[in-house]
């Protein structure tokens, strides 16, 4: 029997090259490349470590072959000699003609192809089998990070003509493994529920129907472990450690169990707080910014917040590049820690120029008047941030970015460069909606918030429903004066059929012409006042009550009034739609002047507060008071200016506008005093993707209207109360509100209405 020794192809070629070279060294007079199909000879010559005139011998043939292999272009290289001509025989690797991916749902095809291209696997590139195997491993890793441990990836390489290949990547994603339980071991001070409430991962609440909270990912777990660490460090456990983390999956790859072992350590208290470094600012200005007290439990969160506060203080004082470091001094024997805040203020920095870019249609002055960071003044981080926020709130720009580069050649000057991306500030819209009381609602409007780039607002529109028809034109100059005093002019005409609103049988036609001003008091407070002329025509309905007939007999049916209005608004909400914290207060007064046909006044106060209870729950408390009365020759508030209650916005579960006094026809007449209170516990219902657009919750409403003019007292036993479920959706077609309310305090004669909704929007 004979046996054969098999050598790798590359080693065999190297051996042959050495054999050729060992026959006789020679000086290369010419080089010829054979076997090229797509790659040019010039490319080979660029990589070839030998040129004409060089000597080829036993010492460099191996280097020539190795260098050409390293290019990745060839799967076979061979050297031969023809006289003094060096012949390089090559066989090219195939090129990738096409890449097809199928079965992927979690990862988009374009995203995958872009990722493949980044690592060299793309149409037109040289095909390498090792690279394809690397891609398969990376895809597996990506799907594993999304909790899809049953994923299967199969790649098929099909040879094509002209030394090309086609690649088919077939993906079977499988089901996402879900977290069944997270076990904590070693926690003695805090129970599991309290700690797991801090986690993003876990078992979703019963109401979170489409939550992905139980979808495991390595990154999310890492974030939760860091949150757990912060939880303990904020409560004095300086030596807290995560001993181990174990993630196990069931054999069917559907359920995941996570076990986290921790070592809590001991609680440390603060025994000393110091300031060190080149302070520049007085101690009495700095120590109030340190939210720490000797003897209290150490908190990393408070230490970080104190350092940030000191940094902000220095930044606002012009030290733009100040650096504050907190240095702990730990005494483990006595379980105490001292904190030293070391301050390096750097040089005080001034602003040379404030520059704007991107505002193609908006004038520079519109942007500059919103800036709170001035040129030639000390740089202030707070004022720079406030300037950006004010520009963003204008609504003219989709994005505002601010950079503060140092001025070349200077150590104490910076420029403030503001770059904006303009968005469409004008709109032409039409809308349709439906209300249980007003029926179908149609509206149309044309609005230009940034008229000719001046920042002025111009609008015109109409609304029509079974109950109301309105035409309006308005103009507002937000900077009527350089100090930010606004001025607005309004004209409107409104027809209202109150019988369609569950109110007594009458209607009014009101024409209005007014002017109003707004004065900024602080960044959160604004004072508004105005004057308007109103022309009101009053009409009896088809079956008017005696009260309405008596009113017309005593006052007539045509009224010309001059109305004065004033209001104070304070808005500290974190956002306008579905706020989570902050509040809004509005105190408003409207009164007709002496000499008007109808002399009366109305005062209202509304206060709404939002409290974040957990990451998902928000508590809303709302209270509203209203009072109106006549003066001069008029002894009472005109009934068509009364307050009403019932329905969405006041007391849900009762038919809209039906609470309070009734007329002789047993229709709602309203009253001159109003008391409303609302409480909502709101939460997202469709997971993270919809948390900013959909909220559901539980509500408790209470309130009524009272005829104080007729001697009726505001008595708490006459307050109506309801409770139930609510759903609010800020949809692409507008705001939608639904409630399922149940009266729990009602009286005979009240009109209850369990399901209520209001739908409206644009298209």
Looking at residue 615, its pLDDT comes to: 74
Which pLDDT band holds residue 20 (cuts at 50, 70, 90)?
A: very low
As a whole number of angstroms, the distance between CA 693 and CA 731 comes to 7
**Is 254 in a helix, a strand, or coil?**
coil
Beta bridge partners of 472: 461, 492
- Say whether both 238 and 139 belong to one domain: no
SS3 annotation, 459-485: EEEEEECCCEEEEEEEEEECCCCCCCC
- Say whether both 432 and 416 belong to one domain: no
Please report whether residue 4 resides in a domain.
Answer: no
Please report whether residue 1 resides in a domain.
Answer: no
Mean local confidence (pLDDT), 501-520: 86
Who wins on pLDDT, 11 or 570?
A: 570
CA angle 318, 322, 326 (to 5 degrees): 140
**Strands 85-92 and 55-56, sheet pairing:** unpaired
Please report whether residue 700 resides in a domain.
Answer: yes
- Say whether both 308 and 411 belong to one domain: no
- Say whether both 474 and 442 belong to one domain: yes
Phi–psi pair at 723, nearest 5 degrees: -145, 165
- Say whether both 538 and 411 belong to one domain: no
Please report whether residue 65 resides in a domain.
Answer: yes
As a whole number of angstroms, the distance between CA 187 and CA 265 comes to 10
Q: Measured in Å, how far apart are the chain's first and last C-alpha atoms?
A: 88
pLDDT tens figures, 631-680: 887 778 888 889 999 988 899 999 888 898 888 888 888 899 999 999 99
- Can you state the angle between helices 9-23 and 61-70, rounded to 10 degrees? 150
The beta strands (E) that lie in 236-365 are given as 241-249, 255-263, 269-277, 323-331, 336-344, 350-357
Beta carbons within 10 angstroms of residue 661's beta carbon: 18
CATH number at residue 238: 3.10.20.310
Query: What is the pLDDT of the chain when averaged over all its residues?
Result: 83
Beta bridge partners of 572: none
92, 124, 149 — which closes off a domain?
92
Please report whether residue 608 resides in a domain.
Answer: yes
CATH number at residue 550: 2.40.160.50
- Say whether both 109 and 61 belong to one domain: no
Q: Could you tell me how many helices (H) and strands (E) the chain has, helices first?
A: 12, 33
Please report whether residue 2 resides in a domain.
Answer: no
Which pLDDT band holds residue 30 (cuts at 50, 70, 90)?
A: confident
**Strands 600-612 and 582-592, sheet pairing:** antiparallel
SS3 annotation, 139-188: HHHHHHHCCCCCCEEEEEEEEECCCEEEEEEEEECCCCCEEEEEEEECCC
Task: To the nearest 10°, report the CA torsion of 137, 142, 145, 147.
Answer: -90
Are 303 and 311 within 8 A, CB to CB? no
Exposure string of 449-480, with b = 16+ CB inside 10 Å and e = fewer, is bbbebbbbbbbebebbbebbbbebebbbbbbe
Please report whether residue 536 resides in a domain.
Answer: yes
Mean local confidence (pLDDT), 159-170: 83
326, 344, 362 — which closes off a domain?
344
Looking at residue 22, its pLDDT comes to: 45
The beta strands (E) that lie in 93-131 are given as 95-102
- Say whether both 559 and 469 belong to one domain: yes
Judged against a pLDDT cut of 60, whether residue 606 lies above it is answered with yes
- Say whether both 612 and 703 belong to one domain: yes
Judged against a pLDDT cut of 90, whether residue 457 lies above it is answered with no
Give the single-character DSSP code of 317: T
Mean local confidence (pLDDT), 143-164: 81
**Is 37 in a helix, a strand, or coil?**
coil
Are 78 and 69 within 8 A, CB to CB? no
Q: What is the domain extent for residue 76?
A: 9-92
pLDDT tens figures, 583-595: 999 999 999 998 8
User: Residue for token digits 């111009």?
Assistant: 458
Residues 364, 369, 373, 376, CA torsion sign: positive
Are 571 and 524 within 8 A, CB to CB? yes
Give the single-character DSSP code of 550: H
Closest CA to 652 of 728, 605, 703: 703
**Strands 600-612 and 673-683, sheet pairing:** unpaired
The beta strands (E) that lie in 449-548 are given as 457-464, 468-477, 486-497, 506-520, 525-540
- Say whether both 646 and 729 belong to one domain: yes
Count of structural domains within the chain? 6
Looking at residue 40, its pLDDT comes to: 80
Which pLDDT band holds residue 19 (cuts at 50, 70, 90)?
A: very low
- Say whether both 132 and 160 belong to one domain: yes
Please report whether residue 728 resides in a domain.
Answer: yes
Beta bridge partners of 141: none
Which pLDDT band holds residue 363 (cuts at 50, 70, 90)?
A: confident
Beta carbons within 10 angstroms of residue 201's beta carbon: 19
Which pLDDT band holds residue 367 (cuts at 50, 70, 90)?
A: confident
Phi–psi pair at 41, nearest 5 degrees: -65, -35
Who wins on pLDDT, 103 or 235?
A: 235
Looking at residue 684, its pLDDT comes to: 85
Who wins on pLDDT, 742 or 545?
A: 742
32, 65, 92 — which closes off a domain?
92
- Say whether both 203 and 126 belong to one domain: no
- Say whether both 415 and 434 belong to one domain: no
Mean local confidence (pLDDT), 420-431: 58
């Amino acid at each position: 029997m004979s046996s054969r020794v098999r050598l790798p192809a590359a080693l065999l070629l190297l051996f042959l090259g050495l054999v050729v070279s060992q026959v006789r060294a020679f000086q290369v007079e010419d080089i010829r490349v054979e076997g090229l199909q797509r790659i040019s000879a010039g490319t080979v010559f660029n990589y070839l470590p030998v040129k004409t005139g060089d000597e080829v011998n036993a010492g460099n043939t191996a280097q020539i072959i190795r260098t050409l292999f390293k290019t990745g272009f060839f799967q076979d290289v061979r050297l031969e000699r023809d006289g003094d001509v060096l012949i390089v025989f090559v066989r090219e690797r195939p090129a990738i003609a096409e890449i097809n991916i199928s079965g992927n749902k979690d990862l988009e095809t374009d995203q995958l192809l872009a990722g493949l291209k980044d690592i060299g696997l793309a149409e037109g590139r040289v095909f390498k089998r090792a690279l394809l195997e690397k891609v398969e491993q990376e895809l597996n890793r990506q799907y594993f990070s999304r909790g899809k441990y049953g994923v299967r990836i199969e790649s098929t390489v099909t040879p094509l003509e002209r030394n090309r290949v086609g690649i088919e990547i077939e993906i079977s994603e499988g089901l996402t493994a879900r977290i069944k339980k997270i076990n904590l071991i070693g926690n003695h001070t805090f129970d599991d529920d309290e700690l797991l409430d801090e986690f993003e991962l876990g078992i979703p609440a019963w109401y979170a129907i489409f939550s992905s909270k139980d979808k495991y990912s390595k990154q999310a777990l890492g974030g939760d472990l860091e949150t757990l660490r912060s939880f303990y460090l904020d409560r004095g456990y300086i030596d807290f450690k995560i001993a181990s983390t174990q993630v196990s999956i069931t054999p069917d790859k559907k359920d995941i169990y996570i076990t986290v072992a921790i070592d809590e350590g001991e609680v440390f208290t603060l025994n000393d707080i110091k300031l060190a470094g080149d302070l520049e600012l007085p101690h009495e200005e700095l120590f109030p910014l340190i939210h720490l007290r000797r003897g209290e439990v150490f908190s990393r969160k408070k230490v970080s917040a104190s350092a940030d506060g000191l940094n902000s203080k220095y930044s606002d004082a012009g030290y733009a590049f100040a650096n504050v470091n907190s240095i702990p001094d730990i005494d483990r024997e006595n379980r105490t820690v001292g904190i030293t805040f070391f301050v390096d203020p750097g040089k005080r920095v001034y602003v040379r120029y404030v520059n704007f870019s991107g505002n193609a249609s908006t004038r520079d002055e519109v942007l500059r008047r919103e800036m709170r960071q001035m040129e030639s003044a000390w740089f202030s981080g707070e004022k720079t941030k406030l300037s950006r926020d004010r520009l963003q709130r204008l609504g003219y720009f989709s994005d505002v970015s601010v950079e503060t580069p140092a001025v070349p050649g200077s150590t104490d000057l910076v420029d403030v460069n503001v770059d904006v991306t303009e968005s469409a500030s004008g709109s032409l819209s039409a809308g349709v909606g439906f209300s249980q009381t007003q029926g179908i609602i149609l509206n149309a409007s044309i609005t230009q918030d940034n008229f000719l780039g001046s920042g002025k607002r111009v609008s015109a529109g109409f609304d029509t429903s079974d109950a109301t028809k309105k035409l309006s034109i308005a103009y507002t100059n937000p900077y009527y004066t350089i100090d930010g005093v606004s001025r607005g002019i309004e004209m409107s005409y409104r027809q209202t059929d109150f019988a369609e609103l569950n109110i007594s049988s009458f209607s009014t036609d009101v024409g209005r012409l007014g002017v109003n001003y707004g004065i900024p008091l602080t960044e959160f407070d604004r004072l508004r006042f105005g004057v308007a002329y109103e022309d009101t025509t009053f009409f009896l309905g088809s079956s008017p009550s005696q009260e309405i007939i008596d009113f017309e007999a005593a006052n007539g049916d045509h009224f010309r009034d001059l109305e004065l209005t004033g209001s104070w608004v304070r808005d500290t909400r974190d956002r306008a739609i579905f706020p989570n914290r902050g509040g809004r207060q509005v105190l408003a007064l409207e009164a007709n002047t002496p000499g008007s046909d109808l002399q009366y006044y109305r005062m209202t106060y509304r206060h709404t507060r939002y409290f974040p209870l957990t990451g998902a729950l928000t508590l809303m408390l709302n209270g509203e008071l209203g009072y109106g009365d006549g003066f001069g020759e008029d002894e009472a508030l005109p009934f068509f200016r009364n307050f009403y209650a019932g329905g969405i916005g006041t007391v849900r579960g009762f038919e809209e506008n039906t609470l309070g006094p009734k007329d002789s026809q047993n229709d709602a007449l309203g009253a001159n005093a109003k008391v409303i209170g609302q409480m909502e516990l709101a939460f997202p219902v469709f997971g993270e993707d919809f948390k900013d657009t959909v909220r559901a919750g539980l509500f408790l409403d209470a309130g009524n209207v009272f005829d104080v003019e007729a001697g009726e007292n505001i008595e708490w036993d006459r307050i109506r109360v309801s409770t139930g479920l609510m759903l609010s959706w800020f949809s692409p077609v507008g705001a939608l509100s639904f409630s399922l309310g149940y009266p729990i305090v009602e009286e005979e004669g009240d009109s209850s209405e369990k399901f209520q909704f209001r739908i409206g929007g644009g298209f």
